Structure 1
């Protein structure tokens, strides 16, 4: 099986909805499975030890989840044009993977949810790519051959899937289509790379 890790942080549930749509796209590809994970919050007060399994939602990611994946989709809400602190904190702890080259050559994609139309979704997606490039991953975006990218009046960028949460009715059809397209593209690419390597 081609194992695609979908790693995300979600504040109000929209990034989680996107993760689920990306998982549907991943699992539309024969032989691919989606593994959905999140990360603990960071404390503003002191070092805090979160329970190993959160009360609700996805299980917390481990470095082994990253090491053992064949591809990665990483998502975060937009916080002032950048990824949310818990995701950055988790990535800051991946030095051992960087030293070992565990992620080199694996495909990756990014996604975000933003509270307003010009809320920094594209800068967030670009900033999320930087640590992945340092890890030696191959970044995938969304090509304009995806009709929804040309037609959307909500979220969707060539840098990755996005959602604009204005008064939020949930994901638009275009946003859902682009999430699924990103998941499928990631799974197809990871499968080809894995087959080529073996």
Structure 2
């Protein structure tokens, strides 16, 4: 029996995708855990999807969820919000209740709205009854990072090239590990 953790993201310029991949590495570093890397449809059809589009059935079946978006004026990006607006059937049936979840983001500057964006992504997850995980201060990099990383979730300051700092990589991987270990515990493995 294995544990499948969905890593759902929207990324226009590659930084949020880079974090998603590091979270997936963290998930897959835990025995019996598999990361399912998925994205959402672009509303204006400009996206070049590198990963499959998440389906509601995949979301329903996952054992845990990491969700990421770039900062758009302190909020999650519209395509990700649009995806969640279509999850009412899962909300009505309670399919996501008690599943662990975490959030991640990237912005073009350190003070670009990372923490408010992370909080806006938590809202639909809380409405679905999911259990939100952050990064605890026991993670040493959280004390020393000068780029991304918050107790609310993994984050990065986009350098325009999709590359992350070592601190951002380590914090994202640790968040993925924490999510996977929690999903395993909740599943009883």
Identify the match of residue 92 of structure 1 among 85, 92, 106. 85
Counterpart for residue 165 of structure 1: 158
Q: Show structure 1 runs of 5+ residues with no match.
A: 44-49
Aligned to 2:20: 19
- Structure 1 residue runs of 4+, over 3 Å off? 166-169
Using the alignment, how far apart are the partners of 2:136 and 2:158 within structure 1?
Answer: 23
Q: Residues 67 and 167 of structure 1: is their aligned pair in 2 closer, same or farther, counting only changes over 3 Å?
A: closer
Count of residues in Structure 1 that have an aligned counterpart in Structure 2: 187
Structure-1 residue corresponding to 2:143: 150
- Is the 8 Å Cα contact of residues 97 and 130 (structure 2) preserved in structure 1? yes
What's 2:37 paired with? Answer: 36
Q: Distance in 1 between matches of 2:164 and 2:71?
A: 16
Aligned equivalents of 1:102, 1:21: Cα separation in 2 = 27
SS of aligned partner of 2:186: helix
What is the aligned partner in structure 2 of residue 46 from structure 1?
A: none
- Aligned counterparts of 2:162 and 2:39: Cα–Cα separation in 1: 23
Greater CA deviation, 153-162 or 187-196? 187-196
Q: Which of 105, 108, 122 is residue 101 of structure 2 equivalent to?
A: 108
Cα deviation, residue 143, structure 1: 0.2
Match of 2:178 in 1: 185
Where does the alignment leave 5 or more consecutive residues of structure 2 unmatched? none
- Residues 129-158 of structure 1, C-alpha deviation per residue, up to 9 Å, x if partnerless? 000000000000000100010010100000
User: TM-score w.r.t. structure 2 length?
Assistant: 0.96
- TM-fit CA distance, 1:194: 0.3
When Rg is computed on C-alpha atoms for both structures, the one with the higher figure is 1
Q: Secondary structure at the match of 1:59?
A: coil
Distance 1:146 1:162 in 2: 14
Q: CA RMSD in A?
A: 1.4
